Structure formats: structure tokens, C-alpha cells
Structure 1
Amino acid sequence: MRGFFNLAVASATALIGLSIANPIPVTQVDDSGSGSDIIMTAGNTLNGTLYPTNLTTSDTLQLSLQNNLGNNVNAYITGKDRNNALLPQKVTAPVAIQLGSKGTTKQVTLPDFMTSGRIYFAMGTINFFTVLNDAGEIGLVQPAAENPRDPSAGVEWGFVEFTYNENGVWANLSFVDFVGPSFAMQLTLANGGTQSVRGLQPGAVGMICDEMVSQAKQDGQPWDKMCVKSKSGQALRVISPLKYRALNPSALSSYYDGYVNKVWAKYAAEDLTVDTQGAAGKVKCRVNGNTLSCAGDNRGYQKPSIDDILGCNSGPFTVQPGDNNVHSAVVPRLCAAFYRSTLLASGGNVQPHAKSDMYYKSDPTIHYGRIVHKYEIDNLGYTFAYDDVNPDGENAAGVLAGANPKMFTITAG
């Protein structure tokens, strides 16, 4: 990629002097936030066409940004317009949305549809970069929570995700990559209906860090290393195990091996039933050799690795073009069962089956997911990609969705 300078993307600042280097695997950052290296991955790079065409501004969305974090809070809105463009423009002034003092609200109008959207809140200033690849696509490089030398590493920040199009608004609280400041969301529709997600308890980052330290002492796994603190000891964020392993590949590398082998042995002797909840009925699966095969599925499943379980989008949990509806329905339910360690539990031969109070009860399990959910006020918010897989009548995802939105409110803090 080559630098594409003197541009702003949505509310993002383009900086000259891009430095790409391998990150250093430490979990302490400089209080100044003056890191010098950035990383570009699929997780923190948003790609779009270079120039918008036929841009219209008739489809607006009202945003209400409520500041309960502090007195030096900035907001940034990023995303792609209806033409898959990132809206480049020259930087002529500071582009952060400066919020008022703690307890105040700022109204913002989003001028058009936006996909892959994020609304960032930062206790200070965070940095974005634009680059241009050889295909003529402009890319927005966003702060990377897992990189201790990211230019925004010493700043406390976080975001909510959303899409706004002709079908309405879809938004969620995501802890798939990391946990940062507490956010709550409310969506008000034109018909008067409202939906809300209350988010994390105040001060949750510090409490989650404490529990991750305690869990590391119990099982010797590096849960505590996923807690990122400033030199002064302030808990800034907790990164997910998948993001931590990207910097430390040996961490948790054999953590699930014994569990996976027990699952394969169990379902070589009996059926695993996957309830696709309307997609394809209840599907019977059985292990034969090294492969778990499901009735009506176009292909089988090999034993997953730890990264497959954490990410739910690699190895046996990859959904490819041409996969049938059985495969597309089995993948999320099977990965969720591994992530939550419910396959060997009582009743685990039917997935999904166990209620949420039975998740993360077996050893090993993904304690990051267990601990983060513990500090969610209403137990809503993604801790992994398929947290929306639940038994009928339950929902752990933290999603707001509705047509004809009147107001989208985000409370930070």
C-alpha cells in the first residue's frame, strides 16, 4: 500500500508519516499515547471505493451522543456511504466531534446511509490513517486495541457498531475484539417504539481485569495478560483472547486440545443433534474417523483449533460460497457450543439447548466471554461472533434493529 495523504475520512484524521511494523507483545502502554507503529489487519481496516458517485443526502439519521465519561471526550464517526465510498476530503480543521462536559448531550445528523459504521468515543484524541492500495481502493486504518505501540494506545476509547440503510438501523455492542469504556444504546422508531441495551456496569474494565488476573492464578493461562494498563496502573481495556493470540501465538495453543478430543470421542458413540431453529429442522451429526458429518450437510467438520473456536470463521467454521442452508446453520451453533463449552454438559447432545446460566461451566472454557457477560447489566453484548446463537426465548447479542428510525442514542460512560 502507498500513503494517501491530506485526506479525512468521515470524522477520521489522515496523518502523514505512516509506519508499519510488527507490534511488540507487551500489555503496558505509555501514558502519553505516543506510540509510533500501526498495524493493518482485516479487523481494523475499512476498505471502500475512492470517490463517491451520485451521493444523495436525503436519508438522514439523528444521533444523540450523551457524555457520561468525563470532560475531555471526543467522538468520531466512520463508515462507508451507499456507494461503498469512504468520503475523502481535505483536512482543513480538527475533525473530532468535541462533546461537552460530563452530563451533556450533543445532537448530530448523519447525512446519508452508512454501512460498516462505527461511533467512537475517546477520552482524548485518537488517530486514524488513510492509505491507497494498488487497486485504487482507499482504506481507513482505525486504532488497533491489541497493538501496544498504536498511536492511540495510551487513550481510553471504544465504539459501537451500526449500519443504516433503506431497511432501517442495525446496531450492536461488540466486545469481540476488546472491552473498553461502558456504552448504552437506545433506538427510537417513528412509530414510538423503543429498544435499548444497557451495556457494561460503570467501571467494568477494572473489575474485568481483576477477574482475569484471578482466573490466571487458578489455571495458569495468560488471561491476566489480556488486560492493558497504563504505566500508572489504570485499566484501559481488556483485549479478547483471539486478539491476544495474534501477538502471542503460543498463548492458549493447546488449551482446548483435550476438550476437542473428548467431544470427538463422545459423538463417535452417539448423535449430536443441531437444532437449526427453522433453517433445516433438527439435524443429526456423528463423528466418523476425524470428521463430524451432519445429515444433509454438503461437507463435514474437522477438529477445530483454538483460533477456530475463538474466531468462528476459520477451519471447520468457514462458510464458503455454495454451502447449503444446513451447513450455514450448523456452523454458528457448533462454534458457539465449543466457545461456551456446552458439548459435554448434561443435555449437550442437543445444540443450542442449555440456557445461558449453563454457559462456561466446563473446564476448559473461554473465561473472557464468561467474565465480560458477568458485568453486562442486562447480559447483552457480543463477546464472540456467534453470541446471537441462543435457545429459543433467549438473546445474548445486544442488538438493536428497526425500520424508520427517529433517534439513535448512545450514552458513553
Structure 2
Amino acid sequence: MRGFLVSTLAIAATLLSTSAARPLVKVHPGTANDIVITNKNTVNATTTALSNGTIPANSSTVQITPRSSTSGRLPLSLVNNFAGNINAYVTGLDKNNALVMLQPDGNWYYPQSDPSATTPQPINGNVGIPLGAQGSTTSITLTDYISAARVWFAAGELKFFTVWNPATNGPSLVEPSAVNPSDPSAGVNWGFVELTNTAEGGLYANISYVDFVGLALGMSLLSGDGSIQTALGLQPKAVASICAALASQGQTDGQEWDNLCQADENGDPLRVIAPSDFLSTNAESFAEYYTEYIDEVWTQYATNTLSIDTQAAAGTVACTVQGSLITCAGDNRGYAKPTPSDIFGCNSGPFAIAGTDNDVHRAIVPRLCAAFNRSTLTVSGGDLQPGVGAKSYYTANPTNWYSAIVHQHEVDGKGYAFAYDDVNPSGDINQSGVVADANPTVLTVTIGGPSTS
């Protein structure tokens, strides 16, 4: 959601035939010519900054300085529990919406782009921050407010690029893509935490597995009032365990769960991509997976009421199947039967939100899509959404086994595994792995699994 489709470049993917217990897609890192640019791996500035942090003379935007006031300072404590060298990278938009990356000296680096270039241009600035050895803690500081940000961690070097964006007359940052097995960074084990820290909203950070599972990360936030929020993330070596569980599930139901796993050059599990991203290049997969379940839902709510708690001003609204659509009181439009891609992605078909949709519709979409991913619409108590708690998620078949298995391998069950994983009954456990505070003191990120002491 942080960018839009800038362009599409050619991709070549090689599928290797292996046993069901091993990943089928073996990565083969390529060059800039192999990059596929989508809305998921681009960040788009609305301000163009020069490399020294100033705005071009023909711009009406106020001047940017590399270091601003201390009001937006956010200390990061990076704990390396990984048995190997780790590099950190920080990307995002500064408070003037210019693209920035953090340099080891604490100053912002402003990526540039050549409008005449025909391929993505590599960022060659000093933007990698090496962490100390296993067991050490590295402290860095974000010197000012930042949004649409990611803090990346890699067992190796990640490659970032820029392309010219004519819509904004400035550069767009092209980030490493976990989905593309030919991405220049495809052979690197990496992951990230997402965060936004603004004067208006404070800090909001999360661990996201919406697109893929990679390097094990966890985090904790020391708030201004002294309280601590945690999202402990994945267990050490979780990728191999998740791949084994997905392979077992595929043998049970005949679906391509094992194909979500990518292998490194040695054939060892490297990362797991989400089914929504897998379907973007394998459109025929999971084609009939939800068909019977969807028909069962439509039959049940043709004669029964589905109540959806909007957890907002509209309160709880009544929904029923009328003709081919689920229709809800106060909603400006109804919901057709979704496809597997609609369910896994939560942003297409009946779950796409239009600019003209009213507040009721905007509240129902995430709650209805979460119910389909967790298969809670037909369980006992499922006629209220969100109503049943986490203990009832993924207990019916078919379900989103990627999300279910990822949560099973999280230390505390927290971390986004699909887009609306933050939908939960009021007062119940929030599985999304979000930490937030208006007055943050320090954000700690642990790499390689939780500390044992």
C-alpha cells in the first residue's frame, strides 16, 4: 500500500521439480534487468531532494536539512542473535515526504534517479549499517520523523535501486522483492519491520509476514510511561519448520502449499512467500480451494443473519445473502462470492475498497475478509464477526494454512500473516504484532530469534 505500479519489467523464473517435502522454486539472483517493479516493492516520494538534503531551486517546497530537531528522534536497539554477519538498512519518507535512507553516521541519504535511464539504477551510497557479532547490541538513532519506513536486516548485502517516477517528477525507491526469484537480492536471507513515527500519530511499528517469511525478527517497545509492548516474532530457524508443515498440509489436501517455499542455491529453505503473492504468478493454483466453503457460507446466511461488529460508530450491522450478494444494513454496496486470490489478498474483488465507499463498507471489508482467511464464518458463534477469539481461528477447513502455520511458529503468536490480521474481537488478543505509542522511548529489534537470557 506504500506505492503504486510504476512499470513492469521482464522476469524469468525457473521451476525445479523436487519432492513434495522440498521447496520447488530455487532462487537465481539476477541483475537490474530482472527486477519486477510493483506497488509492493516501491516507495514513492512526493518531494524531490538533492543529495545534500536541499530542495531543487525550481521547487516550491521548503528546504530539507539532513538533521532536524530532536523532537522526532527514535532510538533503535538492534540485538543480533544470528550466527553470522548482519547488515541493517533503513528506508522511508522523511517529514517532507522525500525518500531517505539512513547512513551509518546518522544522517539521511537522499536517493536520486536519472529520468533518462531505461533500467533501475543501483543505489551506491553508504546505506548499509553493519551490526556487531552474535550476542551484541548495536544502537542507532533515527534523527527525525519518518513514515512508510522499513528497518531491514540481511545476512549479506541487499541491493536497492531507484527509477524515475513521472507522476511525482521524482525518484521512486525499488526495494528487494521476496516474490521474484530473479531479484538481485533473491539469494540473501532477509526480513524487515515496518514503522511510521510522526508528530501527529507517534510510533506505529509491526512485524509483517503479509508477503513472506524470512529472517527471524522480534521487537519490543519501551513506551514513554515505562510500559513495554512486545511482538517476539518467529522462532529460530522457523522457515525450515514452516516449509515442512506446509509440505505436510499439501500432502493432506492436495494443494500447492509446499510451492510457497523458496530454496537457496544449495536447495535449503530460504523464505516462504504468502499465497496472495504466489497466486500473482501462478493464477491457476488453489482455483477450487474455497468453492465448497463459500457455497456453504452463502447457504447459511441466506436464511440466517450474519452480524458484523464494525467496532466504530455504526455499531453492529446485520448482513444476509440476497440473490448472489451478501448485503449489509447501511452499506453502500454488497459482496459477491470471492475467489481464493480475493481472500488471500483482501484487496480485490468484493474486498477492494473504492473511494466512494462509505464508512460502513470500509469497516466491513476487513472483518469479512479476516473471517474468510480464518474460516470462522461457519464455526459455532461465527454469526458474529469478529466474535469468536483466536482459539477458533483456522479450526475449520479449508483455511489459510500459510497464516495458521506462521502463527504456530511465532513465539507469542503475534505478527501479521495476512492483510487484516489486526481484526480481532474487542478485548481479545491482537495477533498482528503491532507496538504503538505516542511517546516512544526506544524500539528494540532482535534478529535471529529471541534472546535466551
Structure 2, unaligned stretches of length 5 or more? 1-6, 16-23, 50-54, 56-61, 101-109, 113-122, 449-453
Runs of 4+ in 1 over 4 A off after TM superposition: 33-36, 89-93
Partner deviation per Cα, 1:198-220 (whole Å, 9 max, x = no partner):
11111111100100010111111
Distance between the aligned counterparts of 1:25 and 1:344, measured in 2? 40
Whether the 8 Å CA contact 2:187–2:265 is kept in 1: the answer is no
- 1:8 aligned residue: none
Change (3 A) 1:176 1:30: closer
Which of 417, 420, 423 is matched with 1:386 structurally? 420
Which of 136, 142, 152 is matched with 1:120 structurally? 152
Partner deviation per Cα, 1:366-396 (whole Å, 9 max, x = no partner):
1001100101111111111111111122211
Distance between the aligned counterparts of 1:284 and 1:19, measured in 2? 42
Structure 1, unaligned stretches of length 5 or more? 1-17
Whether the 8 Å CA contact 2:25–2:259 is kept in 1: the answer is no
Which of 162, 186, 189 is matched with 1:130 structurally? 162
- The normalised TM-score by structure 2 is 0.83
Change (3 A) 1:246 1:161: same
Secondary structure at the aligned position of 2:332 is classed as coil
- 2:320 aligned residue: 286
**Structure 1 stretch displaced more, 255-264 or 86-95:** 86-95
- 2:338 aligned residue: 304
Distance between the aligned counterparts of 2:445 and 2:289, measured in 1? 37
- 1:271 aligned residue: 305
- 1:66 aligned residue: 79
Compute the displacement of 1:193 (Å).
2.2
Compute the displacement of 1:121 (Å).
0.4
| 1:104 counterpart = 2:136 | yes
Which of 162, 182, 192 is matched with 2:195 structurally? 162
Whether the 8 Å CA contact 1:226–1:240 is kept in 2: the answer is yes
Change (3 A) 1:54 1:361: same
Which letter maps to 1:355?
G
Matches within 5 A, 1:334-413: 334-394=368-428, 395-413=430-448
Whether the 8 Å CA contact 2:14–2:26 is kept in 1: the answer is no
- The normalised TM-score by structure 1 is 0.91
What RMSD in Å do the two structures reach over aligned CA positions?
1.9
Distance between the aligned counterparts of 1:324 and 1:93, measured in 2? 45
Distance between the aligned counterparts of 1:93 and 1:44, measured in 2? 19
Secondary structure at the aligned position of 1:159 is classed as strand
Whether the 8 Å CA contact 2:99–2:111 is kept in 1: the answer is no
Which of 9, 20, 24 is matched with 1:20 structurally? 9
Which letter maps to 2:80?
N
Partner deviation per Cα, 1:33-54 (whole Å, 9 max, x = no partner):
4566111110111111322543
Partner deviation per Cα, 1:212-262 (whole Å, 9 max, x = no partner):
010111111110010111132321110000111111111112211221122
Whether the 8 Å CA contact 2:422–2:432 is kept in 1: the answer is yes
Distance between the aligned counterparts of 1:92 and 1:262, measured in 2? 55
Secondary structure at the aligned position of 1:338 is classed as helix
What count of residue pairs does the alignment treat as equivalent?
395
| 1:143 counterpart = 2:187 | no
- 2:119 aligned residue: none
Distance between the aligned counterparts of 1:284 and 1:273, measured in 2? 5
Secondary structure at the aligned position of 1:299 is classed as coil
| 1:41 counterpart = 2:38 | yes
